[in-house]
């Protein structure tokens, strides 16, 4: 994809000047007469993202001034690639990696089912920046968005497995897929139960990469390719967006691609339980009691609380090897969205140091995460009269917390971070088009680099 950054061109290059909002007067004062009049008639107030053309000495369009709030974020340049005319531009002066990444993420268009009306404007890559790294960061976001935006018809468990397999091949990683009845042979009962009613069989995707001497990090992603709610069927309005219920799987595939491309010295394992939560005669039911990989029995209160079921088998499997860290990503609860909205990732962890560091990393890379309490006193909400635990609490209060507490039972002592994410932009922001989105993945990458990077 990443021809949005160019290193050489025959075309005319238009300079872009970032202007701090509070430095507007100073900027206007520094301009020549014609430039200042164009800026004023253009209504330029140096508001964040606001762009205005300024003339050169001959009166032709010469350069672009862009307002800036002074923050280091995707939004600084993110609105430009699809609003400035096609062509090549160059930032005057300093620019950060995050701002450059914003240009790339703002150039994204989902073109699987129709051709875009225009190409994005391109940017000269400043000499001080690592073009490869930038391309890897951008490619991770593109992959995540493409996977989420692709409708379930073309992103079922089999397609997700093919994507994982291809990614593994490119990076010379190992990819094992356990499919259908074979899940039962491996005691992955919960994954099988949730996915068995679908025509496209449930499966567990397992990617391994890296040097055996490096610390093991396991990334787990909820891969519910479509969530109808199962027999406790969702209402139409809630079902409408459920192609994105594999958003956690998308995060870990994008993040894994980035970790491998950047050759981070970790031993990476990626686990994706990939299922469709469908309705058929053999669907699992409210009241059923499921066995799980760990041996804990689960009474089904609601078949729409399926994400925690597929995750619990993957988490228990991951924990067996006592990795240095397990991180899971999941579009797990509406409750997390009520708590922090669609634009912040809810984070739960059993490790304070790791959680603090990831929260800081997220703030640094414009990928906000907010920690929520893994409040174990609420475990009583998960008590069952017939099994070890229920899959959905008896009261709706703190639904994201009880979902996290359910997962917690399968983790044991391993350091663990759980993200309850939206994985979808419900509105446009510069650098963040509507639709599938990378959420918490960049925060975690930044953290992993800090902790394990050479
Ligand atoms: N995939 C949904 C959660 C979801 C809904 C995420 C909307 C983001 C936006 C999940 O499988 C689900 O249905 N959760 C239920 C759990 C409930 C039945 C305990 C929920 O949150 O309502
Ligand atoms: Mn559900
Ligand atoms: Zn779901």
Span 2-129: which CATH code? 3.40.220.10
Question: What distance in angstroms lies between residue 332's CA and the mean position of ligand 1's atoms?
Answer: 6
pLDDT confidence band for 3 (50 / 70 / 90): confident
Q: What ligand has the least distance to the C-alpha of 334?
A: 1
Cα 304 to averaged position of ligand 1 atoms, centre (Å): 7
The confidence score (pLDDT) of residue 394 equals 87
d(Cα 105, Cα 146) in Å, to the nearest integer?
12
Q: Where do the structural domains in the chain lie, given as residue ranges?
A: 2-129, 138-452
**Whose C-alpha lies nearest to ligand 1, atom 16?**
305
Q: What is the pLDDT of residue 377?
A: 98
Averaged pLDDT for residues 309-319? 99
Question: Can you tell me the distance from the alpha carbon of 154 to that of 149, in angstroms, rounded to the nearest whole number?
Answer: 10
341-350 b/e with 16+ CB inside 10 Å = b?
A: eeebbbbbbb
Per-residue pLDDT tens over the stretch 13-51: 999 999 999 999 999 999 999 999 999 999 999 999 999
Q: Within 297-379, where are the H helices?
A: 307-319, 334-340, 352-364
190-232 tens-digit pLDDT: 999 999 999 999 999 999 999 999 999 999 999 999 999 999 9
- Residues whose beta carbons lie less than 5 angstroms from ion ligand 3: 224, 227, 245, 307
User: Which of 203, 267, 269, 308 does the annotation list as catalytic?
Assistant: 308
State the ligand closest to the CA atom of 240.
Answer: 1
Give the model confidence (pLDDT) of 330-342 as tens digits: 999 999 999 999 9
CATH topology of domain 138-452: Aminopeptidase (3.40.630)
The pLDDT mean for the chain works out to 98
From ligand 3's centre to the CA of 105, what distance in Å? 26
pLDDT digits (tens, 9 = 90+) for 414-431: 999 999 999 999 999 999
Each residue's pLDDT tens digit, 112-156: 999 999 999 999 999 999 999 999 999 999 999 999 999 999 999
pLDDT recorded at residue 454: 77
276 CA → ligand 3 middle, Å: 9
Q: Could you tell me the pLDDT band of residue 1, with boundaries at 50, 70 and 90?
A: very low
Q: How many helices (H) and strands (E) does the chain have?
A: 15, 20
CB 419 within 8 A of CB 440: yes
| CA-331 nearest atom, ligand 1 | 6
- Edge to edge, the sheet with strand 298-299 lists 289-290, 298-299, 389-390
Query: Following DSSP, what letter does each residue of 36-68 receive, concatenated?
Result: HHHHHHTT----TT-EEEEE-TTSSEEEEEEEE
Per cent of the chain over pLDDT 70 is 100
Contact residues of ligand 1, CB 6 A cut-off: 227, 245, 302, 304-307, 331-335, 337, 392, 399
- Kindly give, in sequence order, each residue whose CB lies less than 8 Å from that of residue 209, ignoring residues fewer than 6 positions away: 168, 171, 172, 173, 174, 256, 260, 267, 268, 269
CB atoms within 10 A of CB 144: 27
| Choice among 17, 36, 234, 451 that is catalytic | 234
Q: Among the atoms of ligand 1, which is closest to the Cα of residue 393?
A: 19
Q: Is 234 a catalytic residue?
A: yes
Q: Is 203 a catalytic residue?
A: no
């Amino acid at each position: 994809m990443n021809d949005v950054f160019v290193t050489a061109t025959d075309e005319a290059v238009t300079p872009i000047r970032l202007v701090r909002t509070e430095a507007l007067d100073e900027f206007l004062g520094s301009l020549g007469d014609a430039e200042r009049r164009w800026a004023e008639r253009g209504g330029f107030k140096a508001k964040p993202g606001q762009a205005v053309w300024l003339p050169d000495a001959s009166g032709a369009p010469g350069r672009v001034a862009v307002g800036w709030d002074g923050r280091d974020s995707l939004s600084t340049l993110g609105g430009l690639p699809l609003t400035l005319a096609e062509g090549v531009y160059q930032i005057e002066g300093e620019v950060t990696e995050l701002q450059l990444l914003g240009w790339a993420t703002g150039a994204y268009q989902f073109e699987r089912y129709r051709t875009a009306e225009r190409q994005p404007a391109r940017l000269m890559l400043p000499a001080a920046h690592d073009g490869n790294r930038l391309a890897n960061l951008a490619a991770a976001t593109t992959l995540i968005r493409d996977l989420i935006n692709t409708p379930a018809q073309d992103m079922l468990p089999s397609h997700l497995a093919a994507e994982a397999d291809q990614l593994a091949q490119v990076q010379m990683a190992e990819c094992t897929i356990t499919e259908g009845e074979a899940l039962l042979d491996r005691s992955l009962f919960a994954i099988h139960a949730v996915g068995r009613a679908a025509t496209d069989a449930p499966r567990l995707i397992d990617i391994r990469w890296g040097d055996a001497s490096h610390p093991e990090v396991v990334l787990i992603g909820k891969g519910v390719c479509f969530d109808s709610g199962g027999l406790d069927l969702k209402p139409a309005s809630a079902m409408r967006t459920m192609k994105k219920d594999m958003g956690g799987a998308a995060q870990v595939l994008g993040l894994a691609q980035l970790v491998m491309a950047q050759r981070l010295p970790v031993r990476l394992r990626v686990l994706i339980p990939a299922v469709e939560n469908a309705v058929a005669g053999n669907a699992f039911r409210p009241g059923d009691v499921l066995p799980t990989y760990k041996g804990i029995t689960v009474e089904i209160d609601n078949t729409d609380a399926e994400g925690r079921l597929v995750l619990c088998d993957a988490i228990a499997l991951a924990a067996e090897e006592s990795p240095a860290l397990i991180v899971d990503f999941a579009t797990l609860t509406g409750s997390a969205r009520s708590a922090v909205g669609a634009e912040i990732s809810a984070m739960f962890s059993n490790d304070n140091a790791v959680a603090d560091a990831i929260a800081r990393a997220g703030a640094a890379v414009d990928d906000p995460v907010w920690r929520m309490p893994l409040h174990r006193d609420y475990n009583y909400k998960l008590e069952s009269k017939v099994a070890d635990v229920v899959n959905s609490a008896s009261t709706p209060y703190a639904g994201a917390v009880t979902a996290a507490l359910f997962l917690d039972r399968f983790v044991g002592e391993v350091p663990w971070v759980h993200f309850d994410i939206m994985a979808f932009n419900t509105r446009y922001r510069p650098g963040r088009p509507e639709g599938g989105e990378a959420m918490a993945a960049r925060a975690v990458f930044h953290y992993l680099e800090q902790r394990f990077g050479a």
